[in-house]
Amino acid sequence: MMPRSQRNALALMAAFFLAAPLVVYPVFLMKAMCFALFACAFNLLIGFGGLLSFGHAMFLGTAGYAAAYSAKSWGFAPELAILFGTACAALLGLVTGLIAIRRQGIYFAMTTLALAQMVYFYYLQAPFTGGEDGIQAVPRGMLFGFIDLKNAWAMYGTVFVIFMAGFLLVYRAIHSPFGQVLKAIRENEPRALSLGYDVTRYKLLAYLLSATLAGLAGATKALVFQLASLTDVHWTMSGEVVLMTLLGGLGTVFGPVVGAFIIITMENYLAQLGAWVTIAQGVIFVICVLTFRRGVIGELGNWLKKPL
């Protein structure tokens, strides 16, 4: 059962994303939801598994390319394209997970970075991705054969449903026995091991789930923007998701959503200020680390003395 504070927060969040498009530009909100889901997936790994991945962009990008390519070249329906993209990310998650999961701490981070750089290189060279032009003009298509996603509201509803489903799945995972074991491993791995938990398998599962959800975010994003490009696989994207999660609050349920929203808002509405956006992001990073390491939501929850 969800604590009341979280149930209220969930209702608030759902209400916000349902009402906001009336005043805020919907495409912007869709982007925010995609990144929020991406950050939630990332948070599952670091906030609850204690594993800092520095290569999460590879899942976002892989799913984006797979979804875009299957929709454009093979004529996949949108639901199939998203599924296919997500499946590709999951597969990549399995392969890279088996390699990376055997390392800890900074070595884990570096392994994921190395793997992500190789994946980046592959997409840069592979002809089907169109190099830096990306896969453009991806058709949004008809969802389940009868919902025309060219309609902004239909697209918005779809993204909203995907986002909420992904979010609840993360929530469910965190609060299941699986999530508890994960937390136990994060706090004290040798003890978890001595209690008879197959630590590696739990970690791999968390990694796999995180990769899959990051892929879901990437595939959805590709359909929203009708574009898959190298930006989403570049290592700076992996850094950005760390920033979002940190800003919102590592290991909180709602933190990543808030963090993603703040960062995307900055990028969107401060875009004309050019280099000042990077400077502002850097300053946020520094302030976060120095003064509120719990992040916006973490501090808020701490102040309210309620889990958020």
Partner 1 sequence: MTEIFGVPTQALFGQLLIGLINGSFYALLSLGLAVIFGLLNIINFTHGAQYMMGAFLAYILANKAGLGYWWSLALVPLLVGAFGIAIERSMLKPLYKLDHLYGLLLTFGLALVIQGLFRNEYGTSGLPYAMPAELAGGRNLGFMFLPNYRAWVIVASLAICLGTWFVIEKTKLGSYLRAATENPALVQAFGINVPRMITLTYGFGVALAALAGVMAAPIYQVSPQMGADLIIVVFAVVVIGGMGSIMGSILTGFGLGVIEGLTKVFYPEASNTVIFVIMAIVLMIKPAGLFGAQK
Partner 2 sequence: MKMKRTIIAAALAALAGTAGAQVSDGVVKIGVMNDMSSLYADIGGPGSVVAAKMAVEDYLKATKSKLKVEVLAADHQNKPDVGSQIVRQWIDVDKVDAIADVPTSSVALAVSEVVKQKGKAFLITGAASSDLTGKACSPNSVHWLYDTWMLANGTGSAIVKTGGDTWFFITADYAFGHALERDTEAVVLKSGGKVVGKVRAPLNTQDFSSFLLQAQSSKAKIIGLANAGGDTINSIKQAAEFGIVKGGQNLAGLLVFITDVHGLGLDKAQGLIFTEAWYWDLNEASRAWTKRFVAANKGKYPSMDHAGVYAAVLHYLKAVDAAKTDDGTKAIAQMKKMPTDDPLFGKGRIREDGRKIHNAYLFEVKKPSESKYPYDYYKLRATIPADQAFRPEKEGGCPLVK
Quote the Cα angle for 115-181-58, to 5°.
20
The contact mask relative to partner 1 for 132-151 (x = CB under 8 A, - = no) is --------------------
Q: Which residue has the tokens 């920033």?
A: 243
Could you tell me how far CA 255 lies from the centroid of its own chain? 12
Q: Identify the H or E element spanning 85.
A: helix 78-100
Q: How many of the other CB atoms lie within 10 Å of CB of 148?
A: 11
Residue 118: name its binding partner from partner 1, partner 2, none (Cβ under 5 to 8 Å by kind): partner 1
24: contact with partner 1 by CB under 8 A:
no
Distances 100 to 107, 112, 122, 208 between C-alpha atoms, Å: 9, 6, 19, 11
Judged by CB under 8 A, which of 145, 177, 190, 274 binds partner 2? 274
Q: Which is nearer to partner 2, 7 or 150 (CB)?
A: 150
**Rg of the chain taking only CA atoms, in angstroms:** 19
Give yes or no for residue 270 binding partner 1 (CB under 8 A): no
Verify binding: residue 91, partner 1, rule CB under 8 A: no
Sign of the CA dihedral with 48 first, then 85, 120, and 259 last = negative
Closer to partner 2 by Cβ: residue 5 or 268: 268
Minimum separation from the CB atom of position 289 to partner 1 (A): 4
Beta bridge partners, 148, equal 142
* Nearest-10 crossing angle of helices 199-225, 78-100: 150
The yes or no reply on residue 280 touching partner 2 (CB under 8 A) is: no
Cβ proximity to partner 2, 25 vs 107, nearer residue: 25
Nearest-angstrom CA–CA distance, 85 and 94: 14
Residue closer to partner 2, measured from CB, 53 or 229: 229
Q: Does 114 bind partner 1 (CB under 8 A)?
A: yes
Cα dihedral: 291, 296, 298, 304 (round 10) = 100
Q: Which position among 106, 152, 161, 165 is part of the footprint of partner 1 (CB under 8 A)?
A: 106
Chain Cα centroid distance, residue 257: 9
Token pair, residue 296, equals 């916006």
Check binding of 58 to partner 1 (CB under 8 A): no
Smallest gap from Cβ 154 to partner 2, in A, equals 16
Write the interaction track for partner 1 spanning residues 198-237; mark x where CB under 8 A is met and - where it is not.
-------------------------------------x--
Q: Is 15 in the site for partner 1 (CB under 8 A)?
A: no
Q: Do the beta carbons of residue 153 and residue 238 sit within 8 Å?
A: no
Whose tokens are 């008879």? That residue is 196
246 forms part of the interface with partner 1 (CB under 8 A): yes
- Which secondary-structure segment (H or E) carries 55? none
Going residue by residue from 219 to 258, which x/- string records binding to partner 2, judged by CB under 8 A?
------xxx-x-xx--------------------------
Summarize as ranges the residues that interact with partner 1 (CB under 8 A).
Answer: 52, 99, 102-103, 105-107, 110-111, 113-115, 117-118, 120-121, 125, 235, 239, 242, 246, 274-276, 278-279, 281-286, 288-290, 293
Q: What residues line the site for partner 2 (CB under 8 A)?
A: 25, 27-28, 31, 124, 130-134, 136-137, 225-227, 229, 231-232, 267-268, 271-278
